[in-house]
Structure 1
Amino acid sequence: MEEAKGVVKHVLLAKFKDDTTPEQIEQLIKGYANLVNLIPPMKAFHWGKDVSIENLHQGFTHVFESTFESTEGISEYIAHPAHVEFANLFLPSLDKVIVFDYKPTIVRC
């Protein structure tokens, strides 16, 4: 196994509050995606909704994954004014949230 060089993934699992409308969720997702244009160490952004048939999601409905060049890049992202402003809009709309940062490991067989 080999750790991917210089890449760190930032994963956020979310469950939106019941009173958050689909239109509000769409706007929040667009705002989240736009951070990749505003924060230089944020290299990529992906998101999706749970489609698992195993029913192990524990109520989480959405996943957001950002790619950074380093753990220092995540620190810069967290402190960046654009992230702080967005987080102040995003987090109050969530009922549940988990954040997990990791360095991907490549398995070669």
Structure 2
Amino acid sequence: MEEEAKGGVKNSLLAKFKEGTSESQIDQLIQGYANLVNLIDPMKSFHWGHELSIEKQLEGYTHVFETTFESVEGVAEYIAHPAHLDFANLFLPNLEQLSFSSTADQQVITMKNPSEIQVMMMELLPDPKDQS
């Protein structure tokens, strides 16, 4: 646990935005993602950049997002937080492709199939039919 307290939990997300998503929309989504660090206490940092790995570029990824959380429990709080759920409703529909990995205490969880991540997120997001 001491190591987790020092380094926390790091989540990395590789993404490719859908064709037709404008640079302005992408910038707004990135700003929204970055702002989550101000809204969700266990989220300690957010960094992003353009994918530089030749291998990942060949797979189609264009952006990398890294977030750091204070603990595994902090990640759970982030996932269920209304600000994160609202953001995910905006962000995920704009992605064509994504790959997610999470590391904590020398353990790694990786999901490469976008449908895996979307299924996981859809289980957390409210059903739009229930909002009418």
Structure 1 runs not aligned, ≥5 long:
none
1:49 correspondence with 2:70: no
Letter in 2 for 1:76: E
Alpha carbons of structure 1 residues 72 and 81: separation in structure 2 relative to 1, 3 Å: same
User: By percentage of residues, which structure has more helix?
Assistant: 2
Aligned to 1:34, the other structure's residue is in SS state helix
Q: Distance in 2 between matches of 1:72 and 1:45?
A: 18
TM-score, normalised on structure 2? Answer: 0.73
Q: Distance in 2 between matches of 1:104 and 1:79?
A: 22
Aligned to 2:86: 85
CA RMSD of aligned residues (A): 1.4
Q: Distance in 1 between matches of 2:28 and 2:22?
A: 10
Render the CA deviation track for 1:42-87: whole Å, top value 9, x for unaligned. 00000000123xx201111101000001111111000000000000
Q: Distance in 2 between matches of 1:76 and 1:97?
A: 22
Structure 2 runs not aligned, ≥5 long:
107-132
Q: Which segments of structure 1 move beyond 6 Å, counting only runs of 4 or more?
A: none
User: By percentage of residues, which structure has more strand?
Assistant: 1
TM-score, normalised on structure 1? Answer: 0.87
Cα drift, residue 104 of structure 1: 6.3
Cα drift, residue 34 of structure 1: 0.1
How many residue pairs end up in the alignment?
101
**Which structure is richer in relative contact order (CA contacts within 8 A, separation 6 or more)?**
1
